[in-house]
Amino acid sequence: MHKGLANAGAKAVVAAHALLDIANGALLQEEAEARLRTQLGLHWSVLTCIQYLSGKEAVGALKALPDEWSEHGRTKLDLLQAVVMALAVVSEARGSRGGKVSGSKLALRLQEVRATAFGGGGVELTFTAPSYALLNSSTSCWKCGERTPVTSVWVPSFVDFADVEEPEDVPEVGGVATLRGIQDLDDQVAAHVRQVAPWLKLGHSETAQATYWVNHCHHCDALQGDYFVMGVNGPFSPQFHVEADALELIPGRGPLHAHASAAQSGWMDWIAERLAV
């Protein structure tokens, strides 16, 4: 169907099918590469396929598919899952976990990524990003008045499946953002946060009527809610470049999976510039 086609839509669909078939064990890598050559006329390796799926062209092409699209028993949502897997593997290849995933271990790693991001029906850790960084600042505690450190979680891009309930639903795909209302984090990210920002921890907010990862005063342990630290005039709402530059950056340690929502603003691009992502 797609043989000889060079348009972004065709490439993205074929690449996503191939990656999902590898993760499912339906294709060996050599078979996937032969399929890519046959259907696209391109001498792509599986790693090239992954790199393509993690890029803006492929993400844009898959998002542009009609919501009711389906092919070979897969929906638009299924193909966007391939993007999430590709983003995670590319993040590792760039060094966030200290090394490149070898070809011999690629299929296993894809299976692990898929299980982490979508295991259990994909209803818990619905928010995924290829990498993350912790932003540190300080504020005056609203209760005791002492200066206390506060932390926010920043991501360069994300896919959010929170509102995906029906087969025709599609996830939200976005660019730079900070996380709000973090109800859960994957084990690796949670351990990193506990190590470098122990004041960002689970707490129950009577105001929000929710339990989530929230900053606590280092002195009196009062909650410093998301609205307080991320709202207008808060430390994570800089109006000028110099204010964003003053935020301490702690690079993450790999991909991120969470149950959270995203907040997006222009100043977050300044963080991307500092991290060169």
Return the percentage of the chain with pLDDT > 70, whole number: 82
Q: Higher model confidence: residue 73 or residue 195? A: 195
Confidence of residue 3 (pLDDT cuts 50, 70, 90): very low
Tell me what pLDDT residue 81 has: 79
d(CA 18, CA 171): 21
- The answer, yes or no, to whether residue 116 has pLDDT greater than 60, is no
Q: Is pTM beyond 0.75 here? A: no
pLDDT for the residue 122: 37
User: Tens of pLDDT along 143-162?
Assistant: 999 999 999 999 999 888 77
**Encoded amino acid at 97, one letter:** R
CA dist 200 → 97, 119, 255 (Å) = 23, 26, 19
What amino acid occupies position 252?
A: G
C-alpha R_g of the chain: 20
The per-residue pLDDT for 150 is: 98
Please provide the DSSP assignment of the chain as one string.
Answer: --TT--SHHHHHHHHHHHHHHHHHTSS-HHHHHHHHHHHH-----HHHHHHHHTSHHHHHHHHTS-TT-EETTEEHHHHHHHHHHHHHHHHIIIIITSSPPPGGGHHHHHHHHHHHHHGGGG-SS-EEES--EEEEEEEE-TTT--EEEEEEEEES-EEE-TT--STT---EEESSEEEEEEEEE-HHHHHHHHHH-TTEEEEEETTTTEEEEEEE-TTT--EE-HHHHHSTTSTT--SSHHHHHTSEEEE-SS-EEEEEEEE--TTHHHHHHHHT-
Question: What's the pLDDT band for 59 if we cut at 50, 70, 90?
Answer: confident
Does 115 or 166 have the greater pLDDT score? 166
pLDDT, residue 236, reads 96
